[in-house]
Structures are given as C-alpha cells and as structure tokens.
C-alpha cells in the first residue's frame, strides 16, 4: 500500500493541474469559485427580510393615512 501512495499523489496532482485549475480559471478564478460556492442566504432568511420590509411599509402607510385624515378633519 505504501508503494502506491507516491504514485497516487502524483496522479492526483497532475489531474488537478490539468483539469481542475483550468476549470477554476475559466470560471473567474478564485474569487469566482468563492462567489459560486460560498454560503448564500437561505430561503427562510429572504422571506424574513421581505416580510419585515413589507410590515414597515404597511405601518408607515397606515400612520401617514391617519395623520393625513387628522389634518383634514
């Protein structure tokens, strides 16, 4: 088993240099790799953000309506 290890290491290194490195370069380099595979905001987080902004907009609209009605009356 120990005799195979250096050969395996060499083969994996050659494969990475021949296949993986050009693929990473073609996709935008290391920054492209990071942006593609970094953790993205999950769906639950996106829904929370949308709900919070919607509630804020609704509360502002209701408050504006009541202030406007108060001036007219």
Gap between the Cα atoms of 54 and 60, Å rounded? 10
Residues 25 and 46 in one domain: no
- Whether residue 39 has pLDDT greater than 80: no
pLDDT at 1 over 80: no
Structural domain harbouring 65: 40-73
Contact 47, 41 (CB under 8 A): no
Contact 28, 37 (CB under 8 A): no
- 7 and 33 share one domain: yes
Instruction: Indicate whether 53 and 30 sit together in one domain.
Output: no
Please tell me the total count of domains within the chain. 2
HSE-CB of 28 using CA atoms within 13 angstroms: 7
Q: Model pTM?
A: 0.43
Q: Are residues 24 and 55 in the same domain?
A: no
Q: Are residue 23 and residue 1 in the same domain, yes or no?
A: yes
Do 31 and 1 lie in a common domain? yes
């Amino acid at each position: 088993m120990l005799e195979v290890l250096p050969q395996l290491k060499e083969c994996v290194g050659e494969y990475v240099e021949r296949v993986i490195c050009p693929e990473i370069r073609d996709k935008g380099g290391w920054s492209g790799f990071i942006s593609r595979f970094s953790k993205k905001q999950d769906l639950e987080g996106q829904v929370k953000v949308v709900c919070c902004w919607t509630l804020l907009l609704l509360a502002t609209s209701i408050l504006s309506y009541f202030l406007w009605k108060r001036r007219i009356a």
